[in-house]
Amino acid sequence: MLSYRHAFHAGNHADVLKHLTLVRIARYLGEKPAPFWIVDTHAGAGRYALDSEYASKLAEYRDGIGRLWEAEDLPPAAADYVDLVRSLNPDGRLRHYPGSPWLASQLLRDGDRLRLFELHSSDVKLLQECFRGRGRQVTITAGDGFAGLKAVLPPPPRRGLVLIDPSYETRDDYANVIKGLREALQRFPTGTYALWYPLLAKPEAQKLPGRLRALGAADWLHATLQVSAPSRDGFGMHGSGMFIINPPWTLKKTLQDTLPQVAALLAQGDGAGFTLEGEST
């Protein structure tokens, strides 16, 4: 896990799904006057230079945010997300991409709080630099985000979003998201939890949605975005998913209205598309 650097993948199709969903949930939380917290268990560096050695090596952003950057007549939720990315690129050129922490920070009000965890020593330093001067509103912890949830949940205002998106480089990550979610729900059962995961051929990834449903949450929403069919050799990520527990009641309709066009824009071949399912009380 410590070898993982999200800079290699910044702005790719998986980030589009994850960050579009994050923005919608944070917007919903902000509709009520009561304060809320956002907790990011695997925060990364905060923001990324797309012309850096890391990002330009694979240039995955070109088939992600790059395709939405020039698109016209985007659905409102997608346009809102792209506008936030544009605010980090005021000259109109796509040269910087915001990570989840930066996007979340733009949607905070005075009484809201952002709690960030990151294990990679280099990314922690970049994250601290990204939020220098933000004071108590943004707290950064160098450490394991799963362990950190025990200290921050439930948040004092009893309103909040927990974003969980580990690298899934090891089998332990799949087990840890189930264990972490189960323990978090015991501490903060009314919170909103947004878990990102990759669509891969490996059994651990394919079994994860079923294990998440088995947690028994009464309200959940599961969205996937595929940009291609799985490769014949079984390697590579052909899409990703978001599993949201206690989602905003508006989120399903928003994704129904948004994902068809986003999936079409990001398609890289046969098999591209999206799925959306959920259960609510």
Give the containing element (helix H, strand E) for 100.
helix 100-106
Query: Is there a catalytic annotation at residue 165?
Result: yes
DSSP for 129-158 reads HHTTT-GGGEEEEES-HHHHHHHH-S-TTS
Contacts of 66 (CB under 8 A, 6+ apart): 11, 94
Token pair in block for residue 256:
């129904």
CA-CA distance, 22 to 85, in Å (whole number)? Answer: 13
Q: At what angle do helices 251-266 and 13-29 cross, to 10 degrees?
A: 160
Given 15, 40, 112, 165, the catalytic residue: 165
Residues with a catalytic annotation lie at 165
